[in-house]
Amino acid sequence: MSIIEVIIPFTWNMNYVIREILWRFLSPESFRNHRNLEQTSIIVCKTISYFAYFSLQCAAWLRTVATFTRCVSLHHQCKLRGKLNRAETAKRLSLTIIIFILFINIPVFVINGKRYPLNNNSSTNTNGTSEVKCYSSKFFSIYEIVHLMLYNFLPFMIMIICNIFIIRKVRESNNRLSFSKRRRASKRSSNQERLTKTLIFVTILFILFTTPSALFYILVRHKINYRNLVTMSLSNLATTTHVLSFLIYSVTSTDFREALVGIIQRKNSVIRLSSERRSMIDVPESDIKQRTPSKSLKKTEEL
């Protein structure tokens, strides 16, 4: 989930970075010919839009699953508690969600992106005779509703309900414990309580930062002045919550920091091993023979 949340700002802001920084200063011709990165080719249009929708929906549902799993784990009488607490079950559930969202966004990749005859009054020109337009199909007027359901409405409802149960359960458990018992609480219970508070805080951030864009797309369907500026600002606000979530996990969760350090160390060890193997391959055969003593020399030394 953290990896996907880090990818989200790049997929949604790639267009602004390339257009306003790289093209404007390094390639003025591309800046004049293309208003957006998606207009360079149909495959770029399809790929960027597909992964943009996929990353948002996937991050929302993985966070929903994490909140639901935490809610179930606090209710000891729930029958699902034993299954959801297993790491293997969590991996399978996450993989199922990722595959499902990959498939459900296939129509975006198939339908999005078409070439239209070049308008003489248009400032964009891709190949002199036609131009690429993204999100121009009527399909997106319907799919935006589907996206809002998958990214905003359904995860909102589930996370709000789960967080209500989590807060009630935490308060009940704290009321049952006296002050002296709280001081003798184990380190594991304090870590679990910190994890619960982190999930609640991240969920509240997600709801606060993504609700404005959802309300805007639902209520403001007609064209207004500065619509592009408003949509860009709300989109950036929505993607900001994913960056903040990664920082919050890094600061508050010890397990997350240990896992992140382990991944980095493992990657460094793999790079070091590959470089050592490459250096061994590059060593001439004559040098290897000089470094390795012959069998006869070993026998004389033994005698």
Q: The CATH number of 2-180 is which of 2.40.30.10, 1.10.10.10, 1.20.1070.10, 3.40.50.1370?
A: 1.20.1070.10
Please, are residues 45 and 134 in contact by the beta-carbon 8 Å criterion? yes
Number of alpha carbons in the 13 Å side-chain half-sphere of residue 195: 17
pLDDT for the residue numbered 303:
44
Low-confidence ranges of the chain (pLDDT < 70): 1-36, 118-128, 174, 176-193, 195, 218, 220-229, 252-260, 263, 265, 267-303
Per-residue confidence (pLDDT) for residue 224, from 0 to 100:
60
Question: What was the pLDDT predicted at 114?
Answer: 81
Q: 271: Cβ–Cβ under 8 A, 6 or more apart, which residues?
A: none
Phi, psi for residue 114 in degrees, rounded to 5: -140, 155
Give the pLDDT score at 104: 93
Burial (CB < 10 A; 0-12, 13-18, 19+), residue 251, is: exposed
User: What is the pLDDT at residue 159?
Assistant: 86
User: How many Cα atoms within 13 Å fall on the side-chain side of residue 112?
Assistant: 25
Tell me if residue 56 falls in helix, strand or coil.
helix
Contact 213, 199 (CB under 8 A): no
Find where tokens 């920082």 sit: 247
> How far is 249 from 63, CA to CA, in rounded Å?
12
Query: Which of the 8 DSSP states describes residue 18?
Result: I
Whether 36 contacts 15, CB under 8 Å = yes
- The confidence score (pLDDT) of residue 101 equals 92
Helix ranges restricted to H, the chain: 2-17, 24-26, 28-33, 42-74, 81-84, 87-104, 106-111, 139-148, 154-176, 179-183, 187-219, 227-252, 254-282, 285-291, 295-302
Q: Is 130 helix (H, G, I), strand (E, B) or coil?
A: strand
**What is the C-alpha to C-alpha distance for residues 24 and 31, in angstroms, rounded to an integer?**
6
Evaluate whether 159 touches 67 at the Cβ level (below 8 Å).
yes
Q: Helix 227-252 crosses helix 2-17 at what angle (to 10 degrees)? A: 150
The answer to whether the CB of 195 falls within 8 A of the CB of 253 is: yes
Rounded to whole angstroms, the Cα distance separating 230 from 8 reads 19
**What is the Cα–Cα distance from 54 to 292, expressed in whole angstroms?**
55
pTM surpassing 0.75? no
pLDDT at residue number 100? 93
